[in-house]
Structure 1
Amino acid sequence: MNEVVKDWANVIVRAAIIIMILFFFLWPVKLEGSSMDPTLNDGDIICMSRFFVQMGWYEKGDIIVFQYNDSGKEKTVLKRIVATEGDHIRLLPDGSVEINGKILEEDYIDEPTKGIVDMTIPQGTVFVLGDNRDLSYDSRQMGVISCDDLTGKAVFRWFPISELSCF
Structure 2
Amino acid sequence: MAGYFAIFLVILTLVSGLIWLLDALVLAPKRRERLVLAQTGAGNQLAPEVSDTLLKEPAVVETAKSIFPVIAAITLFRSFLYEPFQIPSGSMMPTLLVGDFILVEKFSYDVKDPVWRTTLYHNKLPERGDVAVFKYPEQPTVDFIKRIIGLPGDRIIYRDKQLYIEKACTTGQTTGCGNLERIALTHVPDNQFFQGRYQQRRFHEALGEKGHNILVTPGMQEQVRDYYPQPGTAIDEFVVPEGHYFAVGDNRDNSRDSRFWGFVPADNLVGKAVFIWMSFEFSEDPDSWLPGWVPVGVRFERLGKIE
Distance 1:46 1:56 in 2: 21
Q: Deviations over 1:8-48 (max 9, x none)?
A: x9xx6687456523432221011101100111001211100
Q: Say yes or no: does 1:62 pair with 2:130.
A: yes
Q: Deviations over 1:75-114 (max 9, x none)?
A: 2110000011011111133x21111111224141121694
Question: Which ranges in structure 2 are unaligned for 5 or more consecutive residues?
Answer: 1-64, 111-122, 167-179, 185-204, 206-211, 225-234, 281-294, 301-307
Aligned CA distance change for structure 1 residues 74 and 110 (closer, same or farther; 3 Å): same
Question: Which ranges in structure 1 are unaligned for 5 or more consecutive residues?
Answer: 1-8
Distance 2:107 2:214 in 1: 28
Q: Say yes or no: does 1:103 pair with 2:171.
A: no
Percent identity at matched positions?
32
Residue pairs, 1:1-150, within 5 angstroms: 16=72, 19-54=75-110, 55-68=123-136, 70=138, 74-93=141-160, 95-100=161-166, 101-105=180-184, 106=205, 107-111=212-216, 114=222, 115=224, 116-150=235-269
Structure 1 or 2: larger helix share?
2
C-alpha contact 2:137 2:264 (8 A) present in aligned 1: no
C-alpha contact 2:279 2:299 (8 A) present in aligned 1: no
Aligned CA distance change for structure 1 residues 69 and 145 (closer, same or farther; 3 Å): closer
Number of corresponding residues: 160
Query: Relative contact order (alpha carbons < 8 A, sep ≥ 6): 1 or 2 greater?
Result: 1
Aligned CA distance change for structure 1 residues 75 and 18 (closer, same or farther; 3 Å): closer
SS at structure 2 position matched to 1:51: helix
SS at structure 1 position matched to 2:216: coil
Q: CA RMSD in A?
A: 3.2
How far does residue 117 in structure 1 lie from its aligned partner after superposition?
2.3
Aligned CA distance change for structure 1 residues 22 and 131 (closer, same or farther; 3 Å): same
How far does residue 129 in structure 1 lie from its aligned partner after superposition?
0.5
Structure 1 or 2: larger strand share?
1
TM-score, structure 1 as length reference: 0.79
Aligned CA distance change for structure 1 residues 14 and 68 (closer, same or farther; 3 Å): closer
Pick the structure with greater CA Rg.
2
Name the amino acid aligned to 2:165.
Answer: I
In the other structure, the counterpart of 1:3 is: none
